[in-house]
C-alpha cells in the first residue's frame, strides 16, 4: 500500500527482487528511485542513451559462468561477460558487466560512463568510486557470495578517464548496502514520494529532471496565498541583479535554476485551410489538399498540432502523435477551442494531482487567470510592434492599459471588455499597415503554418 502526498492510499504490486541498479538510484536520490521503481517512469538523457549503447555491446557477448566449486578448484585466470544472478537471501538481482576470476576469487567489474570521485583525507588525488557505484557493486558481491562464490573486492571502470577503481567489499560496505536496501524497500512499500533534493548538483545530470522539476516543485510547495503576485517581467527586462535575491531575503533554496531549456526547438503546427487532410508515412506528417501533397512535416520537429475547422486527420497519424506525446488540439474555424487528444503522458503524476488541487483555490485561480490574460495581451502588443511598419500608438497604449487592468482584475471571471477588444485592437492595427513582404509570406504559409 502506498500513501500519496495528500494521504490517499493505493496498492502497488512491485517485483519481489530488487535490481542492483535500482539501489544505485536510491543512493543517488530516493526520489529518482521512487519514480523509476514505484512509478515506472523513465526518461532518457544523453548519459543514459550512451550507457544503454555501451551495455548493448557488452550484452551481445553473453558468457557462461562455471560453478563456484569449479572456479575454486581452478588456478587459471577466467573472464566472462554479461552474467545475471540473483540472491534468495536478500531478494536481489544483479547483472554483471564483466566477471573476472583468479585463484578461487571472483571480481565483478562494472562499466560506468563518467569519471571517478577524487581524493579522500589520506590522498587527495586518489580516484575513488562514487557511493551509488560502491553500493551497486556491493550488491553484485552479495549476490555472488549468496551463490557460493568468494568475492572480496569489485572494480568500477570509469570510461571517461579509463581508470579501474577497486572497491573492497568489507563489513562496513556490506552494512551500508543492507541498510540502503532496507530503506529502499520501506520507501517503495509505504511512500509517499520523497521530497526533491535541494540545490543539488545531481539534478542537472539526472535523466528525470524534466519530469521531477525539483526547483519548480519546491517553489510551488512554498506558494503562499497571502504573498503578492509576482511582478510581471517584460521581453527586454534584464531582471533584478544577481544579488538582488539575497538583498530581498530570498535564499538560495528559493531560486529556481534553469535545469531544462526554457523552450525546446520544437514548434507548433497550425492548420487552418479547410478541407486539408493529415496523414502520415513513417515519422512524417503528410498534409494534402484534394489528394495533392501540400506539405510534409517531421513529427520529431513538432510539439503540438492545431487543427482549425474542417480538417481531417487519419487514425494512424493520431496514434503516432500520441506515441510521440505530441498533443492534437481541435478548434473551430474561428479559433474556439473544442478539445485535445494526447497520449497517456504518465509523467509527473504528483505534479498533475497538485495542479488539480490548486485549481480548487479561488485566489490561486485568480492569480493564474490574471497572468494568462495579461500575457496574452502582452504577446499581441509585442506582435504588433514586431510586424507593423509603424505601430499605431493608440493601439499600443490601449493594449498596455488592458494588460495593466487585467493584472489588477478583482475576479477570475473576466469582464466582457477583456474578452475580445485586445484581438480587435491588434487586428485593426495589423489590418491597415501590414507590409507587402509579410503579406506574401503569409499567403505562402496559409496552408500549413509552422511557427
Ligand atoms: S531531478 Fe534531482 S530531485 Fe529530482 S529525481 Fe533527479 S536527482 Fe532527484
pLDDT tens for each residue of 333-386 = 988 999 999 887 666 777 777 788 888 888 888 888 899 999 999 999 998 888
Whole-number pLDDT of residue 86:
93
- Residue 104 within a domain: yes
Whole-number pLDDT of residue 73:
76
Whole-number pLDDT of residue 215:
84
Judge if the beta carbon of residue 135 lies within 6 A of ligand 1: no
- Residue 253 within a domain: no
pLDDT tens for each residue of 175-216 = 999 999 999 999 998 878 898 998 899 999 899 998 888 888
Clarify whether residues 419 and 287 are in a common domain.
Answer: no
Whole-number pLDDT of residue 234:
41
Q: Buried (b) or exposed (e) across 124-149, using 16+ Cβ within 10 A?
A: eeebbbbebbbbbbbbbbbbbbebeb
Q: Where among 133, 158, 190 does a domain terminate?
A: 190
Whole-number pLDDT of residue 252:
52
Give me the CATH number covering residue 27.
3.90.320.10
Q: Which atom of ligand 1 is nearest to the CA of 28?
A: 7
Whole-number pLDDT of residue 227:
47
- Residue 451 within a domain: no
Clarify whether residues 331 and 382 are in a common domain.
Answer: no
Clarify whether residues 360 and 317 are in a common domain.
Answer: no
Clarify whether residues 25 and 80 are in a common domain.
Answer: yes
How far does residue 419's CA lie from ligand 1's centre (Å)? 41
Clarify whether residues 305 and 415 are in a common domain.
Answer: no
The residue contributing the CA closest to ligand 1 atom 2 is 203
- Residue 449 within a domain: no
Clarify whether residues 183 and 97 are in a common domain.
Answer: yes
Whole-number pLDDT of residue 411:
72
How far does residue 4's CA lie from ligand 1's centre (Å)? 18
Clarify whether residues 99 and 127 are in a common domain.
Answer: yes
List all residues 6 or more positions away from 59 whose beta carbon is below 8 Å from its beta carbon: 82
- Residue 136 within a domain: yes
Q: Where among 161, 190, 219 does a domain terminate?
A: 190
Judge if the beta carbon of residue 193 lies within 6 A of ligand 1: no
Task: Give 397's Cβ-side CA count (13 Å radius).
Answer: 3
Clarify whether residues 27 and 162 are in a common domain.
Answer: yes
- Residue 13 within a domain: yes
Count how many domains the chain has. 3
The residue contributing the CA closest to ligand 1 atom 7 is 203
pTM above 0.75, yes or no: no
Clarify whether residues 332 and 383 are in a common domain.
Answer: no
Give me the CATH number covering residue 294.
3.100.10.20
Q: Which atom of ligand 1 is nearest to the CA of 212?
A: 4
- Residue 201 within a domain: no
Tell me how far apart the terminal alpha carbons of the chain are, to the nearest angstrom.
47
Judge if the beta carbon of residue 214 lies within 6 A of ligand 1: yes
Q: Which atom of ligand 1 is nearest to the CA of 197?
A: 3
Judge if the beta carbon of residue 31 lies within 6 A of ligand 1: yes
Test site for ligand 1: of 48, 194, 198, 214, most ligand atoms within 8 A of the Cβ: 214
Whole-number pLDDT of residue 164:
92
Clarify whether residues 282 and 304 are in a common domain.
Answer: yes
Whole-number pLDDT of residue 7:
41
Q: Which atom of ligand 1 is nearest to the CA of 209?
A: 1
Judge if the beta carbon of residue 206 lies within 6 A of ligand 1: yes
What φ, ψ does residue 313 adopt, rounded to 5°? -135, 135
Whole-number pLDDT of residue 347:
67
Clarify whether residues 408 and 315 are in a common domain.
Answer: no
Whole-number pLDDT of residue 429:
57
Are residues 65 and 80 in contact, defined by beta-carbon separation less than 8 angstroms? yes
Q: Which atom of ligand 1 is nearest to the CA of 202?
A: 7
How far does residue 263's CA lie from ligand 1's centre (Å)? 20
- Residue 448 within a domain: no
Q: Which domain holds residue 380?
A: 351-441
Judge if the beta carbon of residue 32 lies within 6 A of ligand 1: yes
Clarify whether residues 275 and 379 are in a common domain.
Answer: no
Average pLDDT for consecutive 10-residue bins of the chain (451 residues)? 44 79 95 91 84 77 78 80 90 92 90 85 79 96 94 93 93 96 92 87 90 82 51 44 46 69 82 95 93 92 94 95 92 92 76 81 88 91 88 90 88 54 57 46 43 38
β-partners of residue 96 are 83
How far does residue 197's CA lie from ligand 1's centre (Å)? 6
Test site for ligand 1: of 24, 26, 31, most ligand atoms within 8 A of the Cβ: 31
How far does residue 206's CA lie from ligand 1's centre (Å)? 6
Q: Which atom of ligand 1 is nearest to the CA of 200?
A: 2
Q: Where among 341, 373, 399 does a domain terminate?
A: 341
Amino acid at each position: 500500500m502506498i500513501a500519496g502526498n495528500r494521504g490517499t492510499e493505493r496498492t502497488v504490486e512491485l517485483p519481489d527482487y530488487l535490481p542492483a541498479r535500482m539501489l544505485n538510484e536510491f543512493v543517488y536520490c530516493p526520489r529518482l528511485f521512487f519514480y523509476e521503481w514505484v512509478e515506472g517512469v523513465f526518461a532518457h538523457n544523453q548519459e543514459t542513451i550512451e550507457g544503454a549503447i555501451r551495455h548493448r555491446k557488452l550484452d551481445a557477448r553473453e558468457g557462461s559462468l562455471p560453478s563456484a566449486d569449479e572456479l575454486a578448484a581452478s588456478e587459471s585466470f577466467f573472464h566472462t561477460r554479461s552474467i545475471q544472478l540473483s540472491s534468495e537471501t536478500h531478494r536481489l538481482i544483479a547483472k554483471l558487466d564483466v566477471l573476472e576470476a583468479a585463484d578461487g576469487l571472483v571480481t565483478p567489474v562494472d562499466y560506468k560512463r563518467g569519471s571517478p570521485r577524487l581524493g579522500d583525507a589520506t590522498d587527495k588525488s586518489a580516484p575513488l568510486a562514487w557511493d551509488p557505484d560502491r553500493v551497486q557493486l556491493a550488491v553484485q558481491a552479495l549476490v555472488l557470495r549468496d551463490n557460493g562464490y568468494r568475492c572480496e573486492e569489485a572494480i568500477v571502470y570509469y570510461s571517461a578517464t579509463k581508470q579501474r577503481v577497486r572497491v573492497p567489499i568489507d563489513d562496513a560496505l556490506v552494512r551500508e548496502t543492507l541498510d540502503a536496501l532496507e530503506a529502499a524497500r520501506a520507501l517503495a512499500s509505504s511512500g509517499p514520494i520523497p521530497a526533491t533534493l535541494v540545490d543539488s548538483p545531481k539534478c542537472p545530470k539526472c535523466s528525470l529532471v524534466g519530469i521531477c522539476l525539483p526547483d519548480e516543485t519546491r517553489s510551488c510547495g512554498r506558494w503562499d496565498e497571502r504573498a503578492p503576485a509576482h511582478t510581471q517581467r517584460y521581453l527586454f527586462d534584464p531582471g533584478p541583479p544577481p544579488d538582488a535575491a539575497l538583498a530581498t531575503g530570498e535564499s538560495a533554496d528559493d531560486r529556481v535554476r534553469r535545469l531544462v531549456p526554457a523552450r525546446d526547438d520544437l514548434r507548433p503546427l497550425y492548420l487552418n485551410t479547410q478541407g486539408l487532410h493529415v496523414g502520415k508515412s513513417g515519422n512524417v506528417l503528410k498534409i494534402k489538399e484534394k489528394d495533392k501533397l501540400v506539405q510534409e512535416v517531421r513529427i520529431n520537429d513538432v510539439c503540438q498540432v492545431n487543427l482549425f475547422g474542417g480538417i481531417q486527420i487519419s487514425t494512424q497519424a493520431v496514434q503516432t502523435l500520441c506515441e510521440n506525446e505530441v498533443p492534437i488540439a481541435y478548434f473551430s474555424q474561428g479559433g474556439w477551442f473544442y478539445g485535445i487528444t494526447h497520449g497517456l503522458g504518465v509523467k509527473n503524476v504528483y505534479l498533475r494531482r497538485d495542479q488539480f488541487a490548486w485549481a480548487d483555490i479561488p485566489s490561486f485561480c485568480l492569480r493564474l487567470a490574471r497572468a494568462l490574460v495579461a500575457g496574452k495581451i502582452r504577446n499581441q502588443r509585442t506582435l504588433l510592434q514586431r510586424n507593423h511598419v509603424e505601430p499605431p500608438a493608440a493601439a499600443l497604449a490601449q493594449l498596455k492599459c488592458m494588460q495593466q487592468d487585467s493584472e489588477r482584475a478583482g475576479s477570475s471571471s473576466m469582464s466582457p471588455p477583456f474578452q475580445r477588444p485586445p484581438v480587435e485592437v491588434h487586428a485593426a492595427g495589423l489590418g491597415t499597415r501590414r507590409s507587402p513582404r509579410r503579406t506574401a509570406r503569409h499567403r505562402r504559409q496559409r496552408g500549413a503554418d509552422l511557427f
